[in-house]
Chains A and B, each alone.
Chain A
């Protein structure tokens, strides 16, 4: 299963980035092979608006099935949901590796709704 973690750095020791749309980068992790790669989030970081939508589109294009992040706003939530990507929030304060372990142990909660407000609503 391919999961994506929003990350402040490009290793498994990096801290989870609490932001989704404007995360510094993403770690794409394969739970079967236990290998990972770093995905740039530059397009969203450069976007004047709709960063969460753009980031969700990027993840969808890379075949992600689940996302682990800190918070998720309404537009990102809607786009991720349409792409069929499960959303796990509240992972801020953890390293990427810790977040992956908690995901595997079933200790992360799925978001049933956006947990923060949008910037334009």
Chain B
């Protein structure tokens, strides 16, 4: 069972939901921090991390003795990462997305692949939570391959929670693909609502079942509630705009520990999501045929 925590807008509380949800779920539970450009779940969970494994992206290497300068490799590359000017091809590894197309179309077998290091996948434990995070190397522009490397640690049993990066572009698609359910975290502000609509459009394109959590909710901010009602989107939880929550967050503490009455809310959230996924499994929805974004 794979539950993704996504948002659209950054800073709405994805990590807060992911970490507190993991804390309230029963063993076995695994949390994957796929926000690999700035993973921060570890701040709240203090896992004992191992040294990590380096993640690589396959990039082409040309055997100039075999190359006949035909240019097929450059013609298939959609990322301008390899170009042949009637000469031996030039390769720009930083632009390569590792699709392997050039190697496949090369008629002389002149192209092989080597791994270009892009980041680290670290694993550890925090109490009953099995923890995995990706850490993209500084200066790397492409996070989806590292996100996919982190996702190879999805647990076969129990619940895996995926803390997604913000936004709706390739890294988010890479994190969301294959999940059973998406929790979209928002805040009741015009920016929050604007980006929530983008996130809703994204998960609908991916044919993912989803619900919304409203963070920093106040009684008078009704626009997100009204939007969800109109769109028939379940509001799974509202976290009140409570100073104790902000203080716990700023000290790197979990709110289910700092604000005891919220523990019950999170336990209800766990039950709501799990029963929704189990209900869905009884009557499966069609799989996504095509998915947006390339990475």
- A120, B141: Cβ atoms under 8 Å? yes
Closest to B294 in A: A48
A40 touches B (CB below 8 Å)? no
Interface-side segment among B87-95, B196-204, B242-250: B87-95
Contact residues of A between 57 and 112, Cβ < 8 Å to B: 57, 60, 75, 78-79, 82-83
Contact residues of B between 83 and 124, Cβ < 8 Å to A: 83, 85-87, 90, 92, 94-95
Closest to A121 in B: B94
A9 touches B (CB below 8 Å)? no
Interface residue tally on A, bucketed by range: 10 to 19
A114 touches B (CB below 8 Å)? no
Chain B binding surface SS class: loop
- B85, A82: Cβ atoms under 8 Å? yes
A78-B90, A79-B90 in contact; A57/B83 too (CB < 8 A)?
A: yes
Closest to B142 in A: A120
A53 touches B (CB below 8 Å)? yes
In the bound complex, CA of A54 to CA of B77 (Å): 11
Closest to A60 in B: B85
- B85, A49: Cβ atoms under 8 Å? no
Pick from B80, B86, B87, B139: contact of A51, CB below 8 A: B80
In the bound complex, CA of A49 to CA of B77 (Å): 11
- In this complex, the member of A49, A51, A60, A78 whose beta carbon has the largest number of chain B beta carbons within 10 angstroms is A49
In the bound complex, CA of A24 to CA of B86 (Å): 26
B166 touches A (CB below 8 Å)? no
- Residues of the A chain whose Cβ atoms lie less than 8 Å from the Cβ of B87: 82-83
- Chain A, residues 42-58, CB within 8 Å of chain B (1/0): the string is 00000111110110110
Number of A-B contacts (CB under 8 A): 42
A120-B141, A121-B139 in contact; A53/B92 too (CB < 8 A)?
A: yes
In the bound complex, CA of A48 to CA of B95 (Å): 10
* B285 smallest CB distance to A (angstroms): 31
In the bound complex, CA of A60 to CA of B92 (Å): 18
* A83 smallest CB distance to B (angstroms): 5
16 A-B residue pairings within 8 Å (CB atoms) = A47-B80, A48-B79, A50-B81, A53-B80, A53-B95, A54-B80, A57-B74, A60-B85, A78-B90, A79-B90, A82-B87, A82-B90, A83-B85, A83-B87, A120-B95, A121-B139
* B101 smallest CB distance to A (angstroms): 14
- In this complex, the member of A51, A56, A78, A82 whose beta carbon has the largest number of chain B beta carbons within 10 angstroms is A82
- B139, A49: Cβ atoms under 8 Å? no
Contact residues of B between 101 and 158, Cβ < 8 Å to A: 139, 141
Closest to B74 in A: A57
* A69 smallest CB distance to B (angstroms): 18
Pick from B79, B85, B94: contact of A79, CB below 8 A: B85
